[in-house]
Structure formats: C-alpha cells, structure tokens
Amino acid sequence: MKRLLREVAAPVQLALLALGLASLLLLLFGESPYHVGKALLRGAFASRDDLARTLAGAVPLIFTGLAVAIPFRAGLFNIGAEGQLILAGFAAGVTATVFADLSPIALMPLVMLIAMLVAMIPAGIAGWMRSRIGIHEVIATILLNFIIYSLVMWLLRVESFGLMAGMEPKTAEIPLGIRLGEAIPGTGIGVALVFAVLIAVVAEVVLFRTKPGLMLRARGGNPRAAESVGVRSGRVILGSMLVGGALASFAGTQQVLEVHHSYIEGFSPGYGFTGIAVALLGANRPLGVVLAGLFFAVLRSGAFAMDALAGIPREAVGLLEVLIILLVASELIRGSFRKARAGTAGGVA
C-alpha cells in the first residue's frame, strides 16, 4: 500500500497543479473557478441519473487504462485499445443478436467470451510481430486500428450479412435478459463498474504479488537483465499484449450490454486513446487506474453542465485533460532521463 501511494502521489500532485493552472486561466478570462467547479460537480453528481451516467462513463476508461497499463509494465505501448474495444463491441452486438434465442445464463458468458477472443486477435498479432520479427507494437497497433475501423464498417454494411438494423449503422438491439443494470438498486452503481473494480484488484494482486507479475515487471524494467535470469521475453510480450486486448474488450462489451444495448458505429469517443492518459495518471498501477478513470469520468460527465450553467464550453475539459497529460508525461520523461544518467554514471564508475 505504501508503494502504491508513493507511485500515485506524483501524478496526483501534477493533476492538482493542472487544476491550479486551469483555475488561473479562468481568472485571467474573468471567470470564477469556484462557480465553474461547482457547475462541473453538479453535472456529475446532482442526481442519481447524473451519478449513474458518471460511473458508467468511468467503466470504459478503467478498462482501457488497464489495457494500456499492464503492457506498459512489461515495457510495451498498447496504442491499439481503441480498435480492440470497437472490434469487441461489434462482436458482442452481433453475437447477442445471432444467438438471441439462448437463455440469458448461457448468452451472457458467450457474448463476453467471443468479444474477448476477437479483441485478443489484433493484440496478439501486435505482440507476435514485436517478439518474432521486431516490428514495434506502436506501429503495429496503430495500423491495426485503421484496419479494424475499415473492417467493421464494411462488415456492418454488407447486405448479404444482414447485420445492420434499418438505415442506421448499428446492429439490432440485444435481448433484455443480458442488459446490465445496477449492482445495488437505487445507488447508480452498475454491475459493470463493480466488475471493473474487481478486475483491477485482481490485476494489482497478480502484478505485484505473483511470480508472473514479477517476470512481467522485470522485463519492463530491464529486458536484458530479465532474460539473464530466465525470463522469456517473447512470452511476456505476447502474454501482456493478449491481456491488454482482453481488458480492452470489456470496455466495448460494457458499451453494448449496459449503455447502448446494441453496437452503434462511432460509439467510442476515443476511450482507447483516453485510456493512455488514464494509465499515466494512475501511475500504471491497476488501483491507480481506477481512481484516474473516475476522475476523467467526472470531468467528462460534468462538462455539459459546466457549459449550460457556467457558460464555459465543454471543450475546456479537453484542454484540462491535455494539460494533465503533458505534465504527467513530462515527469515520466524526466524520470527516464534520470535513470539513464544514473546507469551511465554507474557504468563509467
């Protein structure tokens, strides 16, 4: 716990600094940071529906944050979470409608399993390309994102497949029996959020309390040293990318089962890319990712009320997010330089 607090402390401080700078900008433009912040919080928490919307919005950010954080601990950059979650959402929507006659008890796990396996395919391809032929996963995942976008758009529109419902680019609505609701009625806390937190807890334990987690972190810290003590780098690369794809799939599945109740083209406003910021702010710790996901969800959920009540365009929240990302990323770069200097000094000595 002490280590977790120590690792998360620096990003939290930088986030507070970003909020301070944003407040200063508001003052320079003659706006009250207090009233703007009050409007933002009101939009996120004023009613049970507002709270439910905020918490539901945190779920894809938590899952995509985990999808980035786990490979990052192995020294990898999973930039493909966006494509992976879109592919999973499409697979979930199609599976739920094709097998709609199944009982909810059988259909729910089938939808989640197929969505997860489908999302793991591009993640596994990127991991295999990195471990076997040396193609960097950033290049591979970015290219795979474009391939996935085009493939899903084409599959949805092919008339002979009959996947699109009506004239809108979406699948038919999923059965009522597999739609996710509240875990505790009247609280706004959804089943998907509880599942996301449980997955984060499991990831935290595996990452920092088990041998596989130690091997993964060893590879991320120093690949050559890890291989010298028996860590098989290729397996770690492929395994961590597959885990990242599986985690990203839950974001797409949640959007289909809880939010939209069908696959809708363009349902993701960039959850996979925002997940990178969530992972950075959470110090790439699974429990830190949960807190960072909730923080970004509050900003996004309250942005509409901030626009209506305080007259501040909701795009200002995007500016704040960028400011946070820049500050956290700059600190990571500084830390990398300090480690490099220390290593060089040690080698010279």
Residues 7-42 pLDDT 10s: 677 777 877 888 888 888 888 878 788 888 888 888
- The answer to whether residue 107 sits within a structural domain is yes
Number of structural domains (the chain) is 1
Is residue 1 assigned to a domain? Answer: no
Q: Is residue 296 part of a domain?
A: yes
Indicate whether this model's pTM tops 0.85: yes
Q: Which pLDDT belongs to residue 94? A: 94
Residues in a beta bridge with 190:
182
pLDDT at 201 over 50: yes
**348 confidence band (pLDDT: 50, 70, 90):** very low
What is the C-alpha to C-alpha distance for residues 163 and 21, in angstroms, rounded to an integer?
48
Q: Is residue 266 situated within a structural domain?
A: yes
Tokens of 62: 């938590």
- Reduced to 3 states (helix: H, G, I; strand: E, B; else coil), residue 182 is strand
Residue 5 lies in a domain: no
What CATH code is carried by the domain that includes residue 197? 1.10.3470
Residues in the chain: 349
Asked whether residue 341 is assigned to any structural domain, the reply reads: no
Inside any domain, residue 300: yes
User: Between residues 347 and 25, which one has the greater pLDDT?
Assistant: 25
The boundaries of the domain holding residue 34 are 10-335
Count H helices and E strands in the chain, helices first. Answer: 13, 0
In a domain, 101, yes or no: yes
